[in-house]
Structure 1
Amino acid sequence: MRKTSVLIRSIFTETLELINISDVVSKSIRCDGSELIVCGRRYDLREIKHFVIVAAGKAATPMHDAVVAELERSPHVWMNVTALLISPTAPRHERANVTFFPGAHPTPNEVSREAAESTLSYLSKVDGHTFVMFLMSGGASSMLEAPIDPNISISETAEFYGALVASGLSITEMNVLRKHFSLVKGGRLAVAASRAAAQCTLIVSDVPSHSSDSVGSGPSLPDSSTVQDSISLFEGLQDRVLLPESVISFFNGPLLTETPKQTDKAFARSFHRVILSSTELAEAATRLAKASGFHVEVDSTCDEWECRDAVKYLLDRTEALARIHPRVCLISVGEVLVQVHGRSGKGGRNQHFVLSCAMELRQRHSHITVLSAGSDGIDGNSPAAGAIADWTTFERARLMGIDAQSCLDTFDSFLVFKELGDAIMTGPTGNNLRDIRILMSDHEEHAIYHEF
């Protein structure tokens, strides 16, 4: 196995280990005598009689567990806590005042609807002595869902979500549509809890830095998108994918209404803070690559670009840097866009990006090693987080009887990487800070590996 391939894999693995959600959350909240301090904001515990915690998303469990650990330090606080946890993984310990809903992703199911209805029910009962804390992370959109139109079934909702994932829309664009479709998104949970003494939202972000209200489709934040935005996006979506008739009727009917904005009274006593994002992901990877002796640059210009354009841009950048530095590492965070056509095999946007890079590297005869993977440990419909490739990938696949080009054309990239041993298998990480791409070039290795 090539030295750079081993190194690039270890940098990804160690980066995930450095991103500790529990530590970040623990630093964001603490009880200090008669005060609750959240991200520097102080709340008088003598005026708060009840706490409601709603944690949803792929990172919900470690966020929830860290908050619970802090609140349990004050028994008089903990005895008045009610928590709803909607997550792929159960909490560390079962507690009588915590209700757990196994989160569904990437499409909602009956539990998603049950979780949404239960959350709305709890929030409808809050009063002026209740403190509401939302803990939000990516993936919450599908885990917490109830359509505005009660006649739309959960199977039709799941079909709508599946069409969005395959559409090639960016995560921000998909979530504009989800916000206007749902009873619990686009600030509507904040409205449900508007009688509370205070609301706060802590966010582990899987979206661009300017789009915090898009994390989990922003259930507790004022929505920056509009009904007209959703209408325009839906018109374009209809040209790309098949959609349930009930969903088409909704977006063309009277039930499609505006989402709550910043001026809504529900946000008068609320605040939100992004406590962890892809910035920290890139910083951790940068430290590790520098420690290995590489010149490192971070360039996320191609965030939410079409895959083929991102491939060309990042390979061009890496080649340019390699002409200056003997050992170079380019790091990029964010997502590339892949529109799936027809029936597809197993894979995801990260593996599709990596296999596309492999094809381009073979044509360029360029000695670059590429990794792309999801920080959540999940890439598309495959069991992998992502993959690694270089200029030898297509030839090594051919020698094993695998047509890599055919796999690329049919969105079946996992087959290639599984057989080559270049798939990255982490399992769900309990984190979700977007995707990371790492491209490395080492002149010392070029002289050794020239057989392909």
Structure 2
Amino acid sequence: MTQTDDLKHDARAFFDAAVTAADPALALRKALSASPFPKPMGRTLVIAIGKAGPRMMAEALSHIDGPYEALAVTHHENDMGVDGATVLRAGHPVPDEAGANAAKDVMALLARATADDQVIALISGGGSALVPAPKPPMSLADKAAVNKLLLGGGLDIVKMNLVRQQLSELKGGGFLRHAAPAPVTAYILSDVIGDDLRAIASGPTVGPIGTRSEARAILEGADLWAKLPDTARGILEQPEEAQETPDAANILIGSNRHSIAAMEEAAKGAGYAARVVSDALEGDVDDAAQEVIAAVGPVDQPTALLFGGETTVVLRGDGRGGRNQELALRVAMNMPKQDSGWVFLSGGTDGRDGPTDAAGGIVDAGTKDRIIASGKDPKALLDNNDSYAALDAAGDLLITPATGTNVADVQVLLIRP
């Protein structure tokens, strides 16, 4: 193996350590060992929403005594079944009809809850798109159009979810309002940097992030307001209304920071001088790429520079890719010539990056030359947001099955003198 092959092997191992640290079943098991589920007078209604839903559900059901009903909603690529539970699959990142039907099933189950029952909510990343319940008179097509605009508008996840909450029946505490009068306990796996519970899956068991007027200001500032469907603008132009959000017990069981710490431990165990450069690598992918490159300095031993976060992409073309693929490609295109060997990996801990089968990219000093040797123009592909085609040409896509978890993205830059 070449030095680059060795570095790529190690980078992938550290990524796998990050994913393992975010294992939703282990995280929930640890939380329940400290505080078991309460036993209600009536039934336990277990609802899992998110990419980690089936794994969280399987673990939860092993801790429940007495009668229960169980429903999980996850993404189409997750084919895990759960004995004793209904598992529904829906579109992500763009909502689809299956998700709209799943949202109706969630609300129907919550409507059957009584004060003697308890509702257990298992929330993980991706939940915002998986259960679209648009406020009337919005249609699912309107909701999908809004989501597509938000994803391509360069907004961070908190701002996107503030807008989504104002247009949804379940988000921003809507889940709690549908569950009342039953008490709700939520176990949350965070995919949001900073772990703002209101932003994870758009906060179904937490109060809203902001108001309609704040949503309007965000959309106007991103030059998206005029592009919204008329129905969405109509809702956001309505006067503010006070909505009481019932209380819930919200318990955070895992996050991006846990995964970065696991990468650091794995890197040190493999003999690298490991350092967490940033646990908040956010903003536009071009700025993030420059931040990664700026962290490089002289090294006299194998070094691992670690990052975590969730960047954004402004869509300027019609290519395929995702924020991790584009970040990796931008690093490969802009990294100054180094005397040392280096490899950079950027990947989504859910195993999926944008509407592709890749989790991200894993690039090195030869990436750009391999793209050119394939007959493609890497700059033209980048300008068209076609990072998938560029990395595919170089053989540098990070391919992994859907992981069953999601705690945002992690990055590792390995340098060896």
Question: What TM-score does the superposition give when structure 1 sets the normalisation length?
Answer: 0.86
Counterparts of 1:215 and 1:405, CA distance in 2:
35
Question: Are 2:396 and 1:440 equivalent residues in the alignment?
Answer: no
**Cα deviation, residue 100, structure 1:** 2.6
Alignment of 1:14-53 (within 5 A): 14-29=17-32, 39-40=34-35, 43=38, 45=39, 47-53=40-46
Instruction: Judge conservation of contact 1:167–1:240 (CA < 8 Å) in 2.
Output: no
Moved more, 175-184 or 358-367: 358-367
Query: Partner of 2:193: helix, strand, or coil?
Result: coil
Give the aligned partner of residue 337 of structure 1.
312
Counterparts of 1:241 and 1:294, CA distance in 2:
51
Counterparts of 2:347 and 2:161, CA distance in 1:
22
**Cα deviation, residue 205, structure 1:** 0.6
Query: Partner of 1:372: helix, strand, or coil?
Result: strand
**Cα deviation, residue 87, structure 1:** 1.0
Seen in structure 2, the aligned counterparts of structure 1 residues 258 and 306 have a Cα distance that, compared at 3 Å, is farther
Seen in structure 2, the aligned counterparts of structure 1 residues 257 and 299 have a Cα distance that, compared at 3 Å, is farther
Give the aligned partner of residue 350 of structure 2.
376
Alignment of 1:12-411 (within 5 A): 12-29=15-32, 39-40=34-35, 43=38, 45=39, 47-71=40-64, 74=65, 77=66, 80-88=67-75, 89-95=78-84, 98-149=85-136, 151-196=137-182, 198-239=183-224, 242-254=227-239, 257-258=241-242, 260=244, 264=245, 266-267=246-247, 270-300=248-278, 302-319=280-297, 323=298, 325-341=300-316, 343-362=317-336, 367-411=341-385
Seen in structure 2, the aligned counterparts of structure 1 residues 240 and 185 have a Cα distance that, compared at 3 Å, is closer
Counterparts of 2:86 and 2:36, CA distance in 1:
27
Q: Which amino acid aligns with 1:385?
A: A
Q: Deviations over 1:153-196 (max 9, x none)?
A: 21121111111111110011100000111011100111222211
**Cα deviation, residue 397, structure 1:** 1.7
Is there any run of 5+ residues in structure 2 with no aligned partner, and where?
none
Moved more, 292-301 or 1-10: 1-10
Instruction: Judge conservation of contact 2:58–2:83 (CA < 8 Å) in 1.
Output: no
Q: Deviations over 1:74-121 (max 9, x none)?
A: 3xx1xx1011211123553443xx333212111112222222222222
Counterparts of 1:114 and 1:14, CA distance in 2:
36
Seen in structure 2, the aligned counterparts of structure 1 residues 407 and 90 have a Cα distance that, compared at 3 Å, is closer
Seen in structure 2, the aligned counterparts of structure 1 residues 145 and 353 have a Cα distance that, compared at 3 Å, is same
Question: What TM-score does the superposition give when structure 2 sets the normalisation length?
Answer: 0.92
Query: Partner of 1:305: helix, strand, or coil?
Result: strand
Counterparts of 2:26 and 2:12, CA distance in 1:
24
**Cα deviation, residue 6, structure 1:** 2.5
Counterparts of 2:98 and 2:170, CA distance in 1:
14
Instruction: Judge conservation of contact 2:216–2:225 (CA < 8 Å) in 1.
Output: no
Give the CA RMSD over aligned residues: 2.1
Q: Which amino acid aligns with 1:184?
A: L
Q: Larger Rg: 1 or 2?
A: 1
**Cα deviation, residue 310, structure 1:** 1.5
Counterparts of 1:134 and 1:337, CA distance in 2:
28
Moved more, 83-92 or 187-196: 83-92
Q: Which amino acid aligns with 2:174?
A: R
Seen in structure 2, the aligned counterparts of structure 1 residues 408 and 240 have a Cα distance that, compared at 3 Å, is farther
Q: Which amino acid aligns with 1:25?
A: L
Instruction: Judge conservation of contact 2:159–2:218 (CA < 8 Å) in 1.
Output: yes
Counterparts of 1:360 and 1:93, CA distance in 2:
46
Counterparts of 1:241 and 1:312, CA distance in 2:
32
Higher RCO (C-alpha 8 Å, min separation 6):
2
Counterparts of 2:115 and 2:19, CA distance in 1:
40
Aligned residue pairs total 412
Question: Are 2:9 and 1:6 equivalent residues in the alignment?
Answer: yes
Query: Partner of 1:253: helix, strand, or coil?
Result: coil
